[in-house]
Structure 1
Amino acid sequence: MTRPGLRARAQRLPVVTRLVLAVAVTMSLVLTGTAGLVYWRVQTALDQQLDDDLATYQHTLDRAVRAGAALPPGPSGSLHQVLDARGRILDADPAVRGRPLLTAAERGAAARGHTVRRDVGSLLPITADTLRVQAARVTAGGHVRLVVAAVRRGHRDEALRELLAQLAFASGLTLIAASYVGYRTARAALRPVERYRRGAAKLADGGQDLRLDVPADRDDEITRLGHTLNRMLDRLAASAAREHQFIADASHELRTPLTLMRAELDVALHRPRTAGELTDTLRSVDTEVRRLVTLANTLLDLEQLDSGERIQRSPVALDRLLDDASAPYRAAAGRDGRTLTVTCDDATVRVDPHWLHPAIGTLLDNALRHGAGAIALRATVRDGRLSLSVADAGSGFPGDFLPHAFERFTRAETSRTTPGTGLGLALVAAVAASHDGTARAENTSPGAVVTLDITC
């Protein structure tokens, strides 16, 4: 199977399984390396001791052969052979009297003066009579002799096999323990994720007002994920609430003009009408259509602001901003015999004129339609904030209306007979909020004033 195929299969495994496999593979590599190091250190120590014993015994045999003396006994488990240059055994331990300890190549190397060392038998699989052999050339009485010393490796091999068994057992237990701990740790770490998944599944199945249970006394990656998901759920809930509010507002406010239009048309179609009557009907319908257009545009503007869409701030001269916003209302104020004055600081502010213009226009339009006397538009800049107010000298707001002035479709009883949608001040409040500010309305003596306090 190709490597991409293995990778694809691994990626389809559950996260916990992949984590446990990663821990198991990593621990296997670590344990193998550690066991290899321990085995190498112990083997080196045992071989060093074995080689020291063999070298001492070899030296004793060489000295005895040179002197022509009887070969002395060696340490426990030692063996010896003395060969002539042709490889014939001249003297040997009874256990190896008929068994050559050197191959022909090794005898040739020893005859040329090289020290030959080799092992007889293997550690694994277990073989009987394992030896470590060392041979050297010795000249005695003018003759070349090959002196072979050997020691048994049984104890050394047994110790290494026991060490291998213990290392394998300990490594296996450690690997099992590490895998179990990794499994439990992974399950514990991913348990909140599974809890979050179940909560999201309930929300997907139609659950309402669900929030994830996130511990307040932690600050790890998964906890931060939970807080992020809760913020996302809050925004989804707010978006759904805005959608429901928009639908409710639209259906409530659109019903009246549509009903009036239907009634006008039904009356006009009930019997033949004169041209004048039809003209009056069309004018009435046109008025309602204009109201519908204004209402729809205002609702869409409110939805755009409430959805959290970022405003586009740009530097603009404050006097130019107020002049442009108030210009359409100067003529209307003059026709009513009223004055409209604009005073402001000489400053440049960073605001979004696209939204601030209609907000100022709404306040001026309200002052013209519902107020009386002179109208004053003032703006001051202090400590990075713009305070913008529109005041008139009329009768002010009804006392019971002030707490609800900026709510949608709320209109004072005294203004019910004048055209309007009840969304103007709601739009003003939304524009202020989009600029990180507030809007407030209050009565003065005489008249009323509406103030926007926003960052600039």
Structure 2
Amino acid sequence: MPLRVRLTLLFALGTSLVLVAAGVLFYLLLRNDLQNSVDASLRTRFSILAAQLPEASDPEAELKEAGAGPAQLLRADGTVIASTDVAGSAPLLDRDQVAAARTGMTSLTLEMEQRRGTDTEEQDVRALAGPLPSAPLPSAPLPTAPPRTTPRQTVLVVATETDLVDAAEDRIRNIMIAAMAPTVALAGLAAWLLSGAALRPVDRMRRQTAAISESDSAAELDVPATRDEIAALATTMNDLLRRLNAARARDRAFVADAGHELRTPLTNLKAELDLAGRPGRTRDDLVEAVGNAAEETDRLIRLAESMLTLARMDSGIVIPRRLSVGDLLDRASRAAAGHAQTRDVTIRTDADRTLTVDAEPDLLRQAVDNLLANAIRHAPPGTAVEVRAHPAEGGAAVAVQVRDHGPGFPPDFLPHAFERFRRSDSARTRDHGGTGLGLAIVAATAHAHHGTATASNHPDGGAVVAVTLPTSQPPDVGIPDSGTLDSGTLDSGTLDPGTDDPETDESSA
């Protein structure tokens, strides 16, 4: 069911309930006020008759002379002493009602027979009954004595017809019932129009969103000028579209770069195989061709492993455990020592053995291996690569720094250092076997552990890359989307992302 229809029905139902509740309350209050007005009139009549009857010699004549509706004077046993013509000769009260009236003033509704021509009808009347302690009662006359009176407790009943009150109540009730249907209809129509006006921007955004094609990367929704929740929703949707478009552009660039990176070693591999297959090649030529083919194959393996690592971090969940940072750096340094010796470079490690972090060992080890490989590759012969680990952020995090004494990189490369397949010198790094994913993996690893990756040129020369990780991970640690790993969320660097793999058996790209 459409939201507009549901809102209209709910508003109409709510209006109906409010009208019914208000109508019932108004009707009951009106009925109570009319009844109180009638009772007040009866009390006035009762007071007047109660003052006149004790002194009257003929109570029935006094009742008839007072007029203004039915009235009776009853004995304690319920028999009629005096009555008006309208009240008739039958007592208005039964014995129980008379007994109750003798104890105090009693208001009640009675049914009274009334003659209309030859027909007799029963009519509701409102009555007030109460005691008259000293009303005079006529005794039977004696021939030789004057009349006398005997004081006894009697009950006076005054009543009035409720025709006007009942008619007023019926008229009000009928008016409320008749007015309820059009009122609810008008409320429903107003709800339909208001909900339509409120949801019109939403429907427009829905149509605009449905019209956005896959190739329309700059499409955005119109933001209403109302500055309300609908405008906030449109703004949020535009932010989402921009993020999706940026992520799609990065994915397309990644696929294009990956295809380009794969094409070069495949082309070289095919060329080597073609040359090896030519007639007249010597054994030495074949050995050289096979060696070159093996080198290109290793390069393809490293590139595939790097891409699989990034794909894992783009879609997986890290499983951290407590580990010693100093032990991990020692193992990584020993593994890279052989590669460093071939380049006449030494590795110096300075790490506190008490420093621990919650991290996935394989991911953190691969990030450190990549940093060491970059530093060794760019370190001049006879220099040292410095690896340090120290507390950061007041002890809440651990910072791991790797520094070389090489030339560093141009400042214009710094904003793009952590981007995938980004190189400062593409030709040079490809010749050295880099994949362009080394620092991207470092940045992704840091971000996956809710940490940061930073890179800069040291004032005394060389490059410094630092990874800062919190000592403990929140319970919801997960790998972020690839769109969160661009240079906008990570600090820029200076090392060559293409030099991610040391030429040792202990490293992985």
* AA matched with 1:382: A
Structure 1 position 287 matched with structure 2 position 295: yes
Give SS of 1:70's match. helix
Aligned CA RMSD, in angstroms, stands at: 4.9
- 1:438 lines up with 2:453 in the alignment: yes
C-alpha displacement of 1:272: 10
1:248 deviation in Å? 1.6
Distance 2:159 2:416 in 1: 109
The answer on whether the counterparts of 1:406 and 1:426 sit within 8 Å (CA) in structure 2 is: yes
2:391 aligned with 1:381, yes or no? yes
Q: What aligned pairs does 1:105-144 form with structure 2 within 5 A after superposition?
A: 118-120=110-112, 131-132=125-126, 140-141=138-139
Cα distance, 1:42 vs structure 2: 1.7
Q: Retained in 1: the 8 A contact 2:325–2:355? A: yes
Q: Quote the offset at 1:73 in angstroms.
A: 3.8
CA offset at residue 147 of structure 1? 7.9
Cα pair 1:367 1:392 within 8 Å, conserved: yes
Preserved CA contact (<8 Å) 2:320 2:358:
yes
Q: Residue 274 and residue 403 in structure 1: after superposition, are their counterparts in 2 closer, same or farther (change >3 A)? A: same
Q: Which has the higher contact order (CA 8 A, sep 6+)?
A: 2
Give 1:329 deviation, angstroms. 0.9
Q: CA deviation at 1:393?
A: 4.0
8 Å CA contact retained: 1:79, 1:151: yes
- Return the alpha-carbon distance in structure 1 between the equivalents of residues 466 and 429 of structure 2: 22
1: distance between equivalents of 2:317 and 2:225?
A: 31
Measured after TM superposition, the shift of residue 148 of structure 1 is: 6.8
Q: CA deviation at 1:286?
A: 3.7
Instruction: Give the structure 2 partner of residue 420 of structure 1.
Output: 434
Assess, with a 3 A threshold, how the Cα gap between structure 1 residues 367 and 268 changes in structure 2: closer, same or farther: same
The 1-side partners of 2:194 and 2:72 are apart by 63
Q: Give the 3 Å change call, closer, same or farther, for CA 264–66 of structure 1 in structure 2.
A: farther
Per the alignment, do residues 72 and 102 of structure 1 end up closer, same or farther by CA in structure 2, a change over 3 Å counting?
closer
**1:227 to partner: Cα distance:** 6.2
Partners of 1:156 and 1:401 in 2: how far apart?
Answer: 95
Per-residue deviation, 1:247: 1.8
Decide whether aligned partners of structure 1 residues 282 and 318 sit closer, same or farther in structure 2, where only a CA change above 3 A counts: same
Q: In structure 2, what is the Cα distance between the partners aligned to 1:390 and 1:113? A: 105
**Paired AA for residue 437 in structure 1:** T
Check conservation: 1:62, 1:147, Cα contact below 8 A: no
Q: Distance in 1 between matches of 2:418 and 2:403?
A: 16
| 3-state DSSP of counterpart to 1:421 | coil
Give the TM-score of the pair, scaled to structure 2: 0.65
8 Å contact from structure 2 (residues 78, 91) kept in 1 = no
Kept in 2: contact 1:87–1:107 (CA 8 A): no
1:432/1:375 Cα in 2 relative to 1: closer, same or farther (>3 Å)? farther
Q: 1:71 is paired with a residue of what secondary structure? A: helix
Matches within 5 A, 1:396-407: 396-397=408-409, 404-407=416-419
Does 2:375 align with 1:364? no
Counterpart Cα distance in 2 of 1:30 and 1:110: 35
Find the partner of 1:454 among 453, 468, 475.
Answer: 468
Deviation at 1:330, TM superposition (A): 0.7
Distance verdict in 2 for CA 1:263–1:26, change over 3 Å? farther
1:46-95: per-residue Cα shift (whole Å, max 9, x none)? 232243256447647965887466334455642457899999999753x6
- Mapped contact 1:257–1:292 kept (Cα < 8 A): yes
Question: Aligned runs of 1:182-197 on 2, under 5 Å?
Answer: 186-187=195-196, 190=199, 193-197=202-206
1:245 Cα deviation from its structure 2 partner? 2.7
- Equivalent residue number for residue 246 of structure 1: 254
1:323 deviation in Å? Answer: 0.8
Aligned pair partner of 2:40 in 40, 49, 60: 49
TM-score by length of 1: 0.71
Q: Once structures 1 and 2 are overlaid, which stretch shifts more, 234-243 or 35-44?
A: 234-243
How far did residue 328 of structure 1 move? 1.2
Structure 1 gaps, min length 5: 1-9, 122-126
Select the residue among 143, 163, 166 that pairs with 1:157: 166
1:14 partner amino acid: V
Change in Cα spacing, 1:272 to 1:329, as seen in structure 2 (3 Å) is: same
Which sits farther off after the overlay, 171-180 or 11-20? 171-180
Match of 2:499 in 1: none
Aligned partners of 1:403, 1:80: CA distance in 2, in Å? 106
Superposed, 1:332-371 pairs within 5 Å as 332-345=339-352, 347-350=354-357, 352=359, 353-371=361-379
Please, which of 410, 415, 420 is the counterpart of residue 408 of structure 1? Answer: 420
Which protein is richer in helix relative to its size?
1
- CA distance, structure 1, for counterparts of residue 90 and residue 370 of structure 2: 114
2:338 is matched with 331
AA paired with 1:381?
A: P
Q: 2:117 aligns to what?
A: none
2:402 to 384, 390, 394: 390
Q: Distance in 1 between matches of 2:100 and 2:377?
A: 125
Matched residue type, 1:152: E
- Give the equivalent residue in structure 2 for 1:28: 19
Decide whether aligned partners of structure 1 residues 86 and 377 sit closer, same or farther in structure 2, where only a CA change above 3 A counts: closer
Counterpart residue identity of residue 451, structure 1: V
Identity %: 27
- Give the direction of change, closer, same or farther, for the CA distance of 1:13–1:45 in structure 2 (3 Å limit): same
Change (3 A) 1:89 1:63: closer
The Cα shift of 1:45 comes to 1.7
Query: How many aligned positions are there?
Result: 434
Q: Is the CA contact 2:109–2:124 (under 8 Å) kept in the aligned structure 1?
A: no
Contact 1:257/1:288, CA 8 A, preserved across alignment? yes
**Contact 1:432/1:439, CA 8 A, preserved across alignment:** no
1:302, 1:400 → 2: CA distance?
A: 25
Aligned in 2, Cα 1:200/1:63: closer, same or farther, shift over 3 Å? farther
**1:217-247 C-alpha deviation (Å, 9 max, x unpaired):** 9686x67766665565455444433432332
Residue equivalent to 2:143: none
Deviations 1:154-184 (A, max 9, x none): 4433443454456557767875676566556
The alpha-carbon deviation at position 256 of structure 1 amounts to 2.2
